[in-house]
Amino acid sequence: MPTTTLIEPHGGTLCELIVPEAEREALKEKALTLPSITLTPRQLCDIELLLNGGFSPLRGFLNRADYDRVVEEMRLQNGILWPMPITLDVSEEVARTLNPGDEVALRDPTGLLLAVMHIEDVWKPDKEREARLVFGTTSTEHPAVAYLMHEAGDYYVGGTLKGVQLPVHYDFKELRHTPAQLRAEFERREWERIVAFQTRNPMHRAHKELTDRAAEEVGGHLLIHPVVGMTKPGDIDYYTRVRCYRKLLKYYPDGRAMLSLLPLAMRMGGPREAVWHAIIRKNYGCTHLIIGRDHAGPGKDSSGKPFYGPYDAQELVQKYQDELGIGVVPFKLMVYVPDQDTYKPIDEVKEGERTLSISGTELRRRLAEGEEIPEWFSYPEVVAELRRTHPPRHQQGFTVFFTGLSGSGKSTIANALMTRLLELTGRPVTLLDGDVVRTHLSKGLGFSKEDRSINVRRIGYVASEITKHRGIAICAPIAPYEADRQYNRQLISSFGGYIEVFVDTPLEVCEQRDVKGLYAKARAGLIKGFTGIDDPYEPPSNPEIVCRTTEETVEQCVEKILDYLYQEGYLRKEENDA
């Protein structure tokens, strides 16, 4: 019989919230009479880790008292360390229907009942305060702040959960362990000292060397525990990553490492997130966590300033290490020493020793341009998996997204670009023009701010599907709001290229060109909420291309866009000669 002694969960008890089988049918019956909330992708990740005990000692979404103390002090009301607000956000419309003492059914998008929540609080949070204290910034260039300000509902609902079942997954089922299941597997293997490796990226030789050394350093075993919930926009999809991890496993010594998937919605919250990751791994039975440079940080803002210092995460976890009870293995940057054909931590490299490394940006460039990726950097099987889903840029789909005022010339340039692309490439090209989309895709939508946003995001969704399947999409709505354009950029960029073209035509010129008489009607008050008259147009902050139709002809604008597509590798001259 195994005699393994595993680390205690955070708070002393693994809080699995699925009710016993005998209660489930009664709970399902009761839920039929309750109001329902359909959970978002982030909320689905959160509820899975609430129900399976990964977020122990939480027993539901935070109530207001717990939320306030977590935001201010990184502690629950009972004093237990907890760094991240786990909140159920809803719209004002939904919040008005809910009251403390009520119960509400929480369902996935198919209507499947996951849990019933006993409501303790419904409140409108101060989101700027939350952003400032939790993420250290109110800049929406931080992905978690952007989500908080533009995606999350304006009200929070807090309360305890009675779980009916976990969210359903049909992929990689043998790798999806709950904390209790993973702990049982550690006991079966008689593993006691387990170091977890948190990752949202593919792993290469440097990562393998690093994790191997970490397991040796703690005198134990390695859990590769990648995030397969929500990560940073633009990250490589988890299906590709998991196939890469599986290929990598065979390079570890027998019995040293195992792979398990974590359904976490990352916030990219840097130091606080690192503490959160340590707590989660402790709940899963790990005794140590590798903490890297800028662990769980989103990188730099548009001015090049990092959101967090390189060692802020390590320092905060080490500050609470005694209370956490989980060891920290600091990440040492590994570099390749070609003269010895080996990897070394950078602090062990001797003066004058030659080293090689390839950054994530450089790797993406090599994949995009079809360049060689050397064997000293990664394993051939891993590179082959990456190439399967990330072909060279000229084989990827892309979207050209025009934005500008009504009458700026978007549709004219978009139509001309479409015909030139059909002439040059022979590839499928789809034009999603504003008027055409409103006739076929968004019929019934009005021109309120909300309806305009829905229309633009619908266009983005269709363009993302075209891009995913390696076609070319050209979009030409007004798209007046920066938040909607950024949403589309993030969505489409995960599948291929996104090229934003700002058709920068002055309002007075647009009015002079007013073939439909819309500006005149807006000036006369016959049309309300017209962009540029009584509703704002937010110019793009960083478009790839700017076309000025007062200075450039349609043909010049099209050639400028084509030049960019050739320069960035989305088109190749050889296609024209074929």
Per-residue confidence band for 16, with pLDDT thresholds at 50, 70 and 90: very high
* Cα separation, 532 vs 537, whole angstroms: 6
Which parts of 55-167 are beta strand (E)? 60-61, 88-90, 103-107, 113-123, 155-163
| Residue-level length of the chain | 578
Cis peptide before 57 (omega within 30 of 0): yes
* Cα separation, 271 vs 308, whole angstroms: 8
Helix, strand, coil share of the chain (percent; to 5) = 40, 15, 45
Distance, CA of 218 to chain centre: 32
Q: Rounded mean pLDDT of the chain?
A: 92
Q: What is the pLDDT of residue 4?
A: 66
Tokens coding 118: 């006993």
Of the ranges 136-150, 216-230, 256-270, 444-458, which one carries the lowest mean pLDDT score? 444-458
For the stretch 56-67, pLDDT in tens is: 999 999 999 999
Indicate the burial class of 22 (C-beta count within 10 angstroms; 0-12, 13-18, 19 or more): exposed
Per-residue confidence band for 575, with pLDDT thresholds at 50, 70 and 90: low
Question: What pTM, to 2 d.p., does this model score?
Answer: 0.81
Q: How many CA atoms lie within 13 A of 7 on its CB side?
A: 26
Are 295 and 313 in contact by the 8 Å Cβ rule? The answer is yes
Which parts of 134-215 are beta strand (E)? 155-163, 194-199
Residue 520 has pLDDT above 60, yes or no: yes
Q: What is the pLDDT of residue 445?
A: 72
Residue 230 has pLDDT above 90, yes or no: no
For the stretch 371-423, pLDDT in tens is: 899 999 999 999 999 998 888 888 899 999 999 998 899 999 999 999 999 99
Of the ranges 5-19, 480-494, 529-543, which one carries the lowest mean pLDDT score? 529-543
Alpha helices in 33-170 (DSSP H): 41-51, 64-73, 92-95, 127-130, 143-150
Which amino acid does the sequence have at 516? K
Q: What is the pLDDT of residue 379?
A: 95
- Mean pLDDT over 308-328 rounds to 93
For the stretch 410-466, pLDDT in tens is: 999 999 999 999 999 989 999 998 667 777 776 767 777 888 888 899 999 999 999
Q: What is the pLDDT of residue 463?
A: 96
Q: Please indicate whether residue 236 or residue 539 has the higher confidence score (pLDDT).
A: 539
Residue 181, C-beta contacts closer than 8 angstroms, at least 6 positions apart:
none
For the stretch 27-52, pLDDT in tens is: 999 999 999 999 999 999 999 999 99
Rg (CA), the chain: 26
Q: What is the pLDDT of residue 333?
A: 82
- Residue 356 sits at φ, ψ, to 5 deg, of -130, 150
For the stretch 252-292, pLDDT in tens is: 999 999 999 999 999 999 999 999 999 999 999 999 999 98
Q: What is the pLDDT of residue 1?
A: 45
CA-CA-CA-CA dihedral for 38, 109, 146, 484, to nearest 10: -110
Q: Please indicate whether residue 96 or residue 514 has the higher confidence score (pLDDT).
A: 96
Q: What is the pLDDT of residue 345?
A: 87
- Give the residue among 316, 97, 299, 85 at the shortest CA–CA distance from 200: 299
Residue 574 has pLDDT above 70, yes or no: no
Q: What is the pLDDT of residue 347?
A: 86
Q: Strand 113-123 to strand 155-163: parallel, antiparallel, or no bridges (unpaired)?
A: antiparallel
Q: Which residues are catalytic?
A: 199-201
